[in-house]
Structure 1
Amino acid sequence: MKIYNNLAEFKRLDHAVVTIGTYDGVHFGHRKIISRLCDLAKSNGGESVILTFFPHPRLIIDPENQDLKMINTIEEKAEMLEKLGVDHLIITPFTRDFSNLSPDEYIREILVDTIGLKNLIVGYDHRFGKNRSGGMKELLESASKLGFEVEQIDEQDINDVAVSSTKIRESLLNGNVALAATYLGYPFSLYGPVIKGDKIGRTIGFPTANIFIEQAYKLIPSDGIYAVTISMENQNYRGMAYIGQRPTINGMTRNIEVNIFDFDREIYGQYIKMNFMEFLRHDVKFTGLEALKIQLQKDKEDTISYFEKIDNSI
């Protein structure tokens, strides 16, 4: 897959099969669109193109609201799209000028003249152009005039709930990582380097690796304890993760830590990926380190039981 950091880098194609969107999460519904995109490109002798945006359009259109966090980093999204077989990924900086393009300018100047649009695939709720004033009506009108075809993919449901990035974010912020994984089609993950902590965990028999998330826009799930899997150096491990401010020791900053089972190596500076499998409990303040130690032992037993159930169901 070829990646372009702006439209100016892209060389117009003879037959571009295009879809457009932020595709945050690359979830179940997104993959339905992307699968159709790649199949249509192959059958028509064209090339598949995804036009996505960074930063998220909502952060530009509504600059006063900077609370929106992303399910995927731009690197994670690109990696998943490549695995799905996409030929070209254009990461367009979303600006005020871009947001002020009329629907007609957007279609003619960006999609047709710059990309070489011949087939456009959009989701059921796709809106575009200034004030999101463009929709299927405008696309169909332009298609007949400018010589391209439009196809709309229906809303995707799981258990009668429409899949959306917003619902996935809400699930994660509520700690419901299992529901988020159902919507996504894969476990939500955090990725980052291991940094030095204050080593309190090892004094009570539960050493942890402290993870630093480098992208400030990456969503962090609700505070609490989670059953997780860990990937590093092409090896997979199991463990329990903690997110919170460590109220038992009057912590002042929000930490992300993981106790990796059956593991005792120093891994400072090592990048690890942590997959969130199950929420175990909320963060609480204990009377002291001994009470915390007792609870952590129970948390470990609950985590082991969770994975045993998974193993037995396979």
Structure 2
Amino acid sequence: MEIHDFDQLSSSQELVHTKSVLSIGVYDGLHFGHQRIISAAVSLARSHGDWKTVVITFAQNPKTMMGRNPFDKPLMSLRQSTDFFSNLGVDYLVVIDFSPDFSKLTGEEFIARCCGMFDVQAIVVGENFRCGSHADTGVVELQEIVPKYTEGASVCVPDMYKLNDGTDDSSTLVRITLTKGTVSEVPAQLGRNYSVDLAHIPSRNNEYPLRFPIGSFVQLLPPPGVYETVLVMANRSEWKMIALIDEEFLTLTSMTSPAPSVFHAGSVQAVRYDNLQFVKELT
């Protein structure tokens, strides 16, 4: 998968002749609903042989940047989402560095720029798709705009993914579940345990128990409490851990006693972490 900056790609026009299926969205968390949309785009592109799948997304959640999001941190790091898009079969990931100037674009101006970067054959979005200044463009408007800037491209809208109780799956629902501390309910929404990226965070003083300052996490954390977790190391080995979250630190201790030698004093310094997966709440 190739990764491109939106503005740079718009200026270079290097992929303007690439027949493509676009999927546009914030895609924070990449829950089941997001996966359905992107998988539909990938399937459509592959069914035509030489078409490519393009995801156009944001480095920062526009609602957060504009002060309209009650949750100030994302559900995934950029590293995690990039890996996930690649595993879903996306060919090109185009990332928008959202800014005040970008926020002034109307929906039509934004879609025109998206269509101008590729030879667009189709656009796949969710039912609740909105874009543009004041979210002025939804699916209906998109269907009217796309023919102006492409030659016969279609707009595809997969059915909304619903949970077993009929609730629409959404990033907001995942955030609400996390902030309640009921991490065991998240896999039904994401299709996997919720995980936080640790690759860029050193443990405090390289001591055991492992301590990570709360302020160093780029993602949303569950509230203070005790959780069963799985610590995934950079070498992909996994360790069952108890996570204690308070107002200052996330502290990890092994669920086995004594702790594995990898966490003994003197050995922790050389250890690198990948992510921490939340399995269930304990208190």
Q: 2: distance between equivalents of 1:215 and 1:77?
A: 19
The CA deviation string for residues 64-104 of structure 1, in whole angstroms up to 9 with x for no partner, is x6742111011110011111110010111111222211222
C-alpha distance 100-80 of structure 1, shift in aligned 2 (>3 A):
same
For the pair 1:184 / 2:179, whether they are aligned, the reply is: no
The answer to whether the aligner puts 1:135 opposite 2:106 as a matched pair is no
Residue 139 of structure 2 is aligned to residue 145 of structure 1: no
Alignment check: 8 A CA contact 1:196 1:268 kept: no
- Structure 2: how far apart are the matches of 1:85 and 1:54? 20
Give TM-score scaled by structure 1 length.
Answer: 0.78
Could you tell me which residue of structure 2 aligns to residue 174 of structure 1?
180
Q: Which residue of 1 aligns with 2:261?
A: 264
Contact 2:195 2:278 in 1 (8 A): yes
Instruction: Please provide the CA RMSD for this pair.
Output: 2.1
* Alignment match, 1:211: 212
Q: 1:274 aligns with which of 269, 276, 279?
A: 276
Q: Structure 2: give runs of 5+ residues left out of the alignment.
A: none
2: CA distance between counterparts of 1:80 and 1:213?
25
TM-score (norm 2): 0.86
Q: Distance in 2 between matches of 1:143 and 1:153?
A: 17
Match of 2:116, SS?
A: helix
Offset of residue 197 of structure 1: 5.3
Please list, as runs of the form range in 1=range in 2, the aligned pairs for 1:1-314 lying within 5 A after superposition.
Answer: 1-9=1-9, 11=14, 12-44=16-48, 45-62=50-67, 67-108=71-112, 110-146=113-149, 147=151, 148-159=153-164, 160-192=166-198, 193-196=201-204, 207-212=208-213, 216-232=217-233, 233-245=235-247, 254-260=248-254, 261=256, 262-265=259-262, 266-268=267-269, 270-272=271-273, 273-281=275-283
Separation of aligned partners in 2, 1:71 and 1:267? 28
Query: 1: distance between equivalents of 2:191 and 2:125?
Result: 20
Aligned residue pair count: 264
Give unmatched runs, 5+ long, in structure 1.
200-206, 246-253, 282-314
Compared CA separation, residues 211 and 264, structure 1 to 2 (3 A): farther
Q: Partners in 1 of 2:272 and 2:77 — Cα distance?
A: 15
CA contact (8 A) 1:20 1:51 kept: yes
The answer (yes or no) to whether the contact 1:194–1:267 under 8 Å persists in 2 is: no
Structure 1 counterpart of 2:209, which letter?
T
Query: For 1:67 and 1:156, how far apart are their aligned partners in 2?
Result: 23
Fraction of identical pairs, as percent: 26
Q: Deviations over 1:207-233 (max 9, x none)?
A: 521135786541111111111112112
